[in-house]
Amino acid sequence: MKIVTIAEIEQQLTNIKDESDPFFIKIQQDERKGVQQLIHRWQKKMEQERQLKEKFVEMKGYELKWRTQGYKYIAGVDEVGRGPLAGPVVAAAVILPEDFYLPGIDDSKKISEKKRNEYDEIIRREALAVSVAKIDAAEIDRVNIYEATKKAMLAAIASLSPQPEVLLIDAMKLETPFMVDSIIKGDAKSVSIAAASIVAKVARDRLMVELSTQFPEYGFQQNMGYGTKEHIHAIQSHGITPYHRKSFAPVKEWVMDK
């Protein structure tokens, strides 16, 4: 019998999805340390994939609940940017098709920037509708961050085409003509809200990176407008930009001192 090299085994394992595969059964008898390490890594990877699939199915529960009642256009809605000292609050609304499948999707804060960008591209390509809206710092100062967040969400919802029948929202109460399901920590419990979370986060991050080229002193490309030590030091040294929230401490204190 021809001896298969470890490199050849590694290559073949990329195409195997089940432990009952004849080749996998065969290589389990191979006592070479390198082969056993490959088997262990493959089993670990399969277990991780299984867990991601299970979580994805669980996260489709809210969508399934409404689909079984006859609703088709179910929009997930979420926002990012309530806490920063600078930049807008951004909301996104996303309507996914029934057969959407993206294991690994989660609250945007729990996944890497690389994954967020990858998922954002997939979501925008496959969604039935995607909408993003932002409320700038001046409006946040005028109406307060809570009201600004609601305005951003309502604007994103209003721009959806087709219009939604049901809204899945991450722990916010909105007055809309649509059915509303408000879910605490919804971005980790609903596929649609997680998708909106990712789209909103990617959109806002890209905007802050653009602003960083105009105002490099503040490090917006890294802190995304949040109050890091370096950001606060930059405010003390250079003052504020038109994108800073004057109603937020310590920006508020800096404005009062001037």
pLDDT tens digit string along 6-19?
888 888 888 888 88
Supply angle C-alpha 175, 179, 204, rounded to 5.
65
Helix-strand-coil split of the chain, %, nearest 5: 55, 15, 35
pLDDT in tens, 92-112: 999 999 999 999 998 888 899
Q: How many CB atoms lie within 10 A of CB 126?
A: 15
Query: Model's pTM, two decimal places?
Result: 0.87
Amino acid at 137: A
Distant-in-sequence, close-in-space partners of 199: CB < 8 Å, separation ≥ 6: 92, 94, 120, 123, 124, 130, 132
139 φ, ψ to 5°?
-70, -35
pLDDT tens for the 258 residues of the chain, in order: 456 788 888 888 888 888 888 888 888 888 888 889 898 888 888 888 888 899 999 999 999 999 999 999 999 999 999 999 999 999 999 999 999 999 999 888 889 999 999 999 999 999 999 999 999 999 999 999 999 999 999 999 999 999 999 999 987 889 999 999 999 999 899 999 999 999 999 999 999 999 999 999 999 999 999 999 999 999 999 999 999 999 999 999 888 876
